[in-house]
Amino acid sequence: MAKWMSVAQVKEKIKESSAEEVTARYLELIGKSKINGYVTVSDKALEQAKKIDAEGHDGPLAGVPIAIKDNISVAGLPNSCGSKILEGYIPPFNAHVIEKLLAAGAVILGKTNMDEFAMGSSTETSHFGPSANPWDLERIPGGSSGGSAAVVAAGEAPFALGSDTGGSVRCPAAFCGVVGLKPTHGAVSRYGVVAYANSLEQVGPLANNVEDIAVLMDVIAGYDRRDSTSIESKTEYQKALVDDIKDLKIGVPKEFFGEGIHPDVEKAVWDAIHKYESLGASWEEVSMPNIKYALASYYIIAMSEAASNLARFDGTRHGLRANGENWHAMVSKTRAEGFGTETKRRILLGTYALSAGYHDKYYLKALKVRTLVKQDFDKALSKVNLLMAPTTPNPAFKIGEKIEDPLTLYLSDVNTCPINLAGLSSISVPCGFTDGLPIGLQIIGKPFDEPSVLRAAYTFEQNTDYHTKRPPEVA
């Protein structure tokens, strides 16, 4: 069995052999893993596959294995969000996307490593330690959905679900040389996904090719009455897979090629844009003057929402409980022991940004800046169909290199978080290498214009071979 298979190939293999055999093969690979991508391997995966073999299933993903980020609730599997505070917690319910996957016949291999509560860009803030980048085991895979990106890149799952609050799908996709989509806010239900920053985040797929992203989107996207921010849309994602971008107008926002960008990244992205040009597209530079304020705005909003979202981890109903002479002391000690340093920093900053006397200076200000950022995008996207930019200004960094300085770490999100502020759709596709490390091209579309984004990504893939390259260290 080939190590890296597309979903179509996996389905072919299931037909030839069985879902059980395919799942067993992935479990074997996971067993030999060098990347610490999974935090939980499901003990029900084989059973699930056998059941599909025995009973048959006509779903679009019948017997196809998938990896799930550890902040997406799967009934009966631990849901730790990379945190000690959720030690032992097993959700009694499925996230909406999991219900959809199970109905489609997918087999859940396990839960993947992530930065604690999705707060980070490297998986280093995980209580379970960092995952390794399959392209260089001494480097981080990106984050926060680093485990999901790493297992897809290493061939330990054909595809995976992550979540993207400020770049948490696209950044690890870029660092691991896979494809990752952040859908428009409201396109995929957030029910059952442990909230970091509600108004910014979406569940997003990671895969080795654009087609598999579309296959997965057709399963997980759509209206859910349990998520009030869910929006009805009739998008058929696989229909967007057309190898043709003639007349496409591309905008290149120069602010995304700012100070500190790696020259190879800049070159790879421009090469990609010129590739589009050669295929019949046109491009122009666009200016987005408020983008430089996006990162600060993003972090203030995310931390404020997070400080509130994470208040429910109080040792009372589940997870870790420390000893304390009274309830308030117990809660303070539990949270001191259960949360990692970066999570605590963000909770403290978010608490401060919402506190009396500072609410307007930080939180309200950030929301106003968000308006300006969104206006910049609206303006740019009124002139062009799509925007293209580097997903991250630099390739994957070394484990331990940036963890001590929060600000440097935050800068990994500089090109991705503006998209979350504006609620747009955006994908990262492999577009080159520097010193053996993958580079990601970010394609940004209007809200609910995933079809244009996917079409451009698909066309690029059909006319290049970056997505066929595999990391030698885990081959």
Partner 1 sequence: MITKEDVEHIGWLARIEISEQETVEYMEKLNSVLEYFGQLDELPTEDIDPTYHVAEVYNVFREDEVEECLPQETVLVNTENKQDGAFRVPKIG
Partner 2 sequence: MAYENPDGVKIGLEIHIQLNKLKTKMFCGCSTDYHNAAPNTHTCPICLGLPGTLPVLNKKVVEAAIKVGLALEGEIAEETQFHRKNYFYPDLPKGFQITQYDYPIVSNGKVVIEGEDGEHVVGITRAHMEEDPGKLVHIGSIEKSKGVLIDYNRSGMPLIETVTEPDMRSPKEARRFLDKFRNILEYLDVFDGNLEGAMRVDANVSVHWGTRVEVKNISSHKGVERALLYEIMRQKNVIRRGGKIVQETRHFDEGRGVTISMRTKEEAEDYRYFREPDLMPMRVRDWIPKIKETLPELPDAKRARFIEQYGITDMHARSLTSKIMLADFYEAVCAKGVDPKVAATWTADVFLGELNYRDLLISSYDGGTIGFIHAKDPEVKNSFKVLGMTELVNLFSEGKVSDRAAVEVIRTILDGTEEKTPSQIIKEKGLFKAEDDLVTKAVAEAIAENAAAVQDYLGGTEKSLNFLVGQVMKKTKGTADAKTARELIVKELKE
Residues that are catalytic: 69, 144, 168
Q: Which of residues 352-391 bind partner 1 (CB under 8 A)?
A: 352-353, 355, 361-362, 364-372, 374
Residues in 179-208 that interact with partner 1 by CB under 8 A = 185-186, 199
The secondary structure element, H or E, covering residue 417 is helix 417-422
| Residue 65 binds partner 1 (CB under 8 A) | no
Nearer to partner 1 (CB atom), residue 11 or residue 170: 170
What is the dihedral sign for C-alpha 243, 245, 251, 252? positive
Residue 72 contacts partner 2 per CB under 8 A: yes
* Among partner 1, partner 2, none, residue 347 binds (CB under 5-8 Å by kind): partner 1
> Which listed residue (84, 275, 345, 469) binds partner 1 by CB under 8 A?
345
**Residue 290 in contact with partner 1, rule: CB under 8 A:** yes
Q: Is 359 in the site for partner 2 (CB under 8 A)?
A: yes
Q: Which of 18, 233, 351, 452 binds partner 2 (CB under 8 A)?
A: 351
Distance of CA 364 to the CA centre of its chain: 27
CB of 465 to partner 2, least distance (A): 39
Residues whose CB falls within 8 Å of the CB of residue 178, separated by 6 or more in sequence, listed in order: 149, 152, 153, 206, 207, 208, 430
Which of 61, 300, 403, 456 is close enough to bind partner 1 by CB under 8 A?
300
Establish if 7 lies at the interface with partner 2 (CB under 8 A). no
Site for partner 2 (CB under 8 A): which residue of 354, 456, 457, 474? 354
Q: Catalogue the E-assigned strands of 200-262.
A: 202-207, 249-253
Report if residue 327 touches partner 1, rule: CB under 8 A: yes
Q: Among residues 9, 351, 434, 464, which is the contact residue for partner 1, using CB under 8 A?
A: 351
Least gap, CB of 133 to partner 1 (angstroms): 26
Among 317, 382, 435, 465, interactor with partner 1 by CB under 8 A: 317
Q: Which does 75 bind (CB under 5 to 8 A by kind): partner 2, partner 1, none?
A: none
Among partner 2, partner 1, none, the one that 299 touches (CB under a kind-dependent 5 to 8 A) is partner 1
Binders of partner 2 among residues 290 to 319 (CB under 8 A) are: 304-305, 307-308, 310-314, 316-318
Secondary structure in 3-state letters for the chain:
CCCCCCHHHHHHHHHHCCHHHHHHHHHHHHHCCCCCCEEEECCCHHHHHHHHHHHCCCCCCCCCEEEEECCECCCCCCCCCCCHHHCCCCCCCCCHHHHHHHHCCCEEEEEECCCHHHCCCCCCCCCCCCCCECCECCECCCCCCHHHHHHHHCCCCCEEEEEECCCCCHHHHHHHCCEEEECCCCCECCCCECCCCCCCCEEEEEECCHHHHHHHHHHHECCCCCCCCCCCCCCCCHHHCCCCCCCCEEEEEHHHHCCCCCHHHHHHHHHHHHHHHHCCCEEEEECCHHHHHHHHHHHHHHHHHHHHHHHHCCCCCCCCCCCCCCHHHHHHHHHHHHCCHHHHHHHHHHHHHHCCCCHHHHHHHHHHHHHHHHHHHHHHHHHCCEEEEECCCCCCCECCCCCCCHHHHHHHHCCCHHHHHHCCEEEEEEEEEECCEEEEEEEEECCCCHHHHHHHHHHHHHCCCHHHCCCHHHC
**Binding string to partner 2 for residues 179 to 198, with x set by CB under 8 A, is what?**
-----------xxxxxx-xx
Residue 195 interacts with, from partner 2, partner 1, none (CB under 5-8 Å by kind): partner 2
Site for partner 1 in 219-248 (CB under 8 A): 225, 228-229, 231
Q: To the nearest whole angstrom, how small is the minimum distance from the Cβ of residue 48 to partner 2?
A: 21
Site residues for partner 2 per CB under 8 A: 71-73, 79, 81, 86, 89, 91-93, 95, 190-195, 197-199, 225-229, 304-305, 307-308, 310-314, 316-318, 327-328, 331, 351, 354-356, 359, 363
Site residues for partner 1 per CB under 8 A: 88-90, 92, 185-186, 199, 225, 228-229, 231, 290, 293, 296-297, 299-300, 307, 311, 314, 316-319, 321, 324-333, 335-336, 339, 344-345, 347-349, 351-353, 355, 361-362, 364-372, 374, 406-407, 410, 421-423, 447
